[in-house]
Amino acid sequence: DVGYRARRLPYWMGRGSQEKHEIADRFLAHADGLDLRVDIDTREERRIYGDAWYDFVADCRGMLGVEAGTSVFDLDDSARTRVDALLAEKPELDFDAVETRILHEYEDRIPYRTVSPRHFEAAAFRVVQILFPGHYSGVLERDVHYLVLEKDFSNFDDVMARFADPEERRRITDRAYVDLIESGRWSYAEFVRAFDDHLSELGVGTSLSERERHAIARRLRRGARLGRVIAHPRWFLRNLSFPGRELVARGYRSLRRASDARA
């Protein structure tokens, strides 16, 4: 019924980083005893990668979520070093105590919360998103594209009642699919078109010939095809140990260098 994956991040990244696991922990506590099948985990070894992630999303009716990014933008590494020093001295301190002592000086000084690819993936698979309230880069509207779950869980019962209603789920997922996916508004093609239009408005003209543009487009398409072919072995090489791993890795790196040179 409801799925989610996240990792526990260090305190120095701010309260926004802690929300990523807090929504999982508190949802599990509130859902205990309800007739729900859930697959919610924040352990590193339970993270999901590659095509298995898309299978996981598509297999869920609902997906928890928060804004991507963190609430502390540590420009000079001072937040991390100060927090690490404090916790080395007093490892028993929880996040609230660390925030009171240090992190309140850094929280939300530079906006660093954003919409995530996860939100588009859920919309594409017509999965109901149950999210903490946020701006989400202006892409998502609460109770239109997602069910808003207050951060104190005060409306948990209402959210789950709405989630249990098939018509309400269909209303949310249909609208999210139309606005985020079907509209094409947030596609790479639209981003590039808008960027090109902006450059034209600033007086930047075309400097490449038609032939050169077609040649670049062909190479990009070829690179994209090759990228899809090597995506799985790349994950395999980076994450698993096996006999002869270094020999295979050297061959893989040679293949990438040759591909880059052709492009």
Q: Give the single-character DSSP code of 113.
A: E
The CB-side HSE value for 134 (13 A sphere, CA atoms) comes to: 26
Strand (E) or helix (H) holding 57: helix 51-58
- For the segment 153-183, what is each residue's pLDDT rounded down to a tens digit? 999 999 999 999 999 999 999 999 999 999 9
197 pLDDT more than 60: yes
Are 123 and 174 contacting, i.e. CB atoms less than 8 angstroms apart? no
What average pLDDT does the structure give for the chain?
91
Are 115 and 136 contacting, i.e. CB atoms less than 8 angstroms apart? yes
Residues of the chain with pLDDT > 70: what percent?
Answer: 92
| Weakest mean pLDDT among 8-12, 13-17, 221-225 | 221-225
133 pLDDT more than 70: yes
Give the pLDDT of residue 232.
59
Q: How crowded is residue 18: how many other Cβ atoms within 10 Å of its Cβ?
A: 20
Say what the pTM is: 0.76
Per mean pLDDT, which of 125-139, 215-229, 230-244 is the most reliable?
125-139
